[in-house]
Amino acid sequence: EDKVVQSPLSLVVHEGDTVTLNCSYEVTNFRSLLWYKQEKKAPTFLFMLTSSGIEKKSGRLSSILDKKELFSILNITATQTGDSAVYLCAVFIIQGAQKLVFGQGTRLTINP
Amino acid sequence: GAGVSQSPRYKVTKRGQDVALRCDPISGHVSLYWYRQALGQGPEFLTYFNYEAQQDKSGLPNDRFSAERPEGSISTLTIQRTEQRDSAMYRCASRGGGPQYFGPGTRLTVL
């Protein structure tokens, strides 16, 4: 059974801290791994990773994929209260069908 | 369009009624996906379309759930004879070859 596991499930830090969110997966027919940020509305796309070892960066956020060890991390530096959200990791699989398999999410709270 | 839109945003219905949830994907996106998201969980796959063809419906919980996309654009997810356990956020996403982009969802409450 395809499985995506995120850790920690919940994290509370102070503004300015750096956080690392983890995502491990066991799936067949891996195509890519995606990170989304979800506040009170639609999940917002952050990164799509297909190759191992290549860091993707957008401002204070960065992510990297390790296809040998089957995990990805999402780093957020100099956190701000606006970073508070649920961060979802999902793996896009193609086996005839195509679908995203999501983890449970990490609820990140940034305190001022 | 600017993004994926869904309607209604909220739907409250009584047990046993049928509901129809609509998704309008990003213009030009070939693939359209339906997911269901329970509180505190990630979205779970229901079904998807390429153009008007339903390619996979393995995630639909039972035969009360159906979906269509007759002209390869707007899609409707229909739930017949709703039950309380159908209460959830129903999300639609579309994809044009890259990542999936999600709509705001329809929160369905079955009383």
Taking only the tens place, the pLDDT of each residue in B54-89 is 999 999 999 999 999 999 999 999 999 999 999 999
- Say if CB B103 and CB B5 are below 8 A apart: yes
Cα nearest neighbour of B4 on chain A: A42
Strand B106-110 relative to strand B10-13, pairing: parallel
C-alpha dist (Å) from residue A69 to A2, A34, A84, B21: 16, 17, 28, 40
Render the burial of A36-50: b for 16+ CB within 10 Å, e for the rest: bbbeeebbebbbbbe
Rounded Cα distance between B101 and A42, Å, is 9
Strand, coil or helix: B108: strand
B45 at the A interface (CB within 8 A)? yes
pLDDT band at A107 (very low <50, low <70, confident <90, very high): very high
Q: Is B1's pLDDT higher than 70?
A: no
Q: In this complex, is the C-beta atom of B5 within 8 Å of any C-beta atom belonging to chain A?
A: no
Question: Residue A97: what pLDDT?
Answer: 72
If phi over 0 gives left and psi between -120 and 50 gives alpha, with beta otherwise, what is residue B43? Answer: beta
Candidates B102, B106, B107, partner chain A, best to mutate (most A CBs within 10 A): B102
pLDDT band (50, 70, 90) for residue B2: confident
- B97 in A contact zone (CB under 8 Å): no
Contacts of B56 in chain A (CB under 8 A): 96-99
> What pLDDT does residue A69 have?
92
The answer, yes or no, to whether residue A12 has pLDDT greater than 70, is yes
Chains A & B: contacts with CB separation below 8 Å = 59
Tell me the three-class secondary structure of chain A, residue by residue: CCEEEEECCEEEEECCCCEEEEEEEECCCEEEEEEEEECCCCCEEEEEECCCCCCEEECCEEEEEECCCCEEEEEECCCCHHHCEEEEEEEEEEECEEEEEECCCEEEEEEC
